[in-house]
């Protein structure tokens, strides 16, 4: 929820990126897009990489333990299928080892708050369902969405 110049409250959409562990990104999405600033740039970078060079192996961003596990499987698969030479595979594996040391080591790779279902974007990408966010109850009485909000509880007026 953001304050507008007129003093009102504005609700916003959450980023619809789903991380490899199944949890959605909770950053505010840029207006008119499905993604936050980081994931908009990430998708643009990935599109440029895939159309530019003919690399045998492209790893996604190593943002959590699940993405590191996926990248590890990709490297081992490329090595086993001879798409990646052993020296380069060693460099990839060393980088994955460093990345693994930089992420939190919780017990669950798949989170209990994982996205329950997926939708498809205009280019076929997997997206989390749309989600509008606000910080109740400060200005619920002036919010346009209050009648459809599960968090809205109208105050009962005191009777004298």
User: pLDDT higher for 151 or 34?
Assistant: 34
Read off the pLDDT of each residue in 84-108 and give the average, rounded to a whole number: 86
- Asked if 75 and 57 count as a contact pair (C-beta separation under 8 A), the reply is yes
User: pLDDT higher for 69 or 9?
Assistant: 69
pTM: 0.47
User: pLDDT higher for 79 or 51?
Assistant: 79
* Dist. CA 54–CA 48, nearest whole Å: 12
What pLDDT was estimated at residue 82? 86
pLDDT class of 54 with cuts at 50, 70, 90: low
Q: For residue 62, give the nearest of 80, 47, 54, 74 by alpha carbon.
A: 74
Name beta bridge partners: 12: 133
Helices (H), the chain: 37-52, 65-80, 86-102
Read off the pLDDT of each residue in 48-74 and give the average, rounded to a whole number: 73
pLDDT class of 94 with cuts at 50, 70, 90: very high
pLDDT at 157 over 50: no
Read off the pLDDT of each residue in 20-47 and give the average, rounded to a whole number: 82
User: pLDDT higher for 111 or 89?
Assistant: 89
* Dist. CA 125–CA 118, nearest whole Å: 10
pLDDT at 41 over 70: yes
Compute the mean pLDDT over every residue in the chain, rounded to the nearest whole number. Answer: 75
User: pLDDT higher for 24 or 138?
Assistant: 24
Q: For residue 13, give the nearest of 42, 40, 43 by alpha carbon.
A: 40
């Amino acid at each position: 929820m953001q304050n507008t110049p007129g003093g009102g409250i504005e609700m916003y959409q959450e980023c619809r990126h789903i991380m490899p562990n199944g949890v959605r990104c909770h950053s505010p999405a840029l207006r008119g897009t499905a993604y936050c600033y980081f994931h908009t740039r990430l998708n643009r970078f990935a599109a440029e990489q895939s159309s530019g060079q003919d690399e045998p192996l492209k790893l996604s961003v190593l943002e959590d333990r699940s993405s590191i596990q996926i990248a590890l499987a990709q490297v081992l698969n490329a090595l086993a299928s001879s798409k990646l030479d052993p020296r380069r595979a060693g460099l990839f594996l060393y980088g994955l080892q460093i990345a693994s040391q930089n992420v939190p080591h919780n017990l669950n790779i798949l989170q209990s708050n994982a996205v329950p279902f997926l939708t498809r974007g205009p280019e076929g990408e997997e997206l989390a369902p749309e989600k509008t966010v606000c910080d109740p109850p400060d200005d619920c009485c002036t919010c346009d969405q209050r009648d459809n909000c599960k968090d809205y509880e109208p105050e009962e007026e005191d009777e004298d």
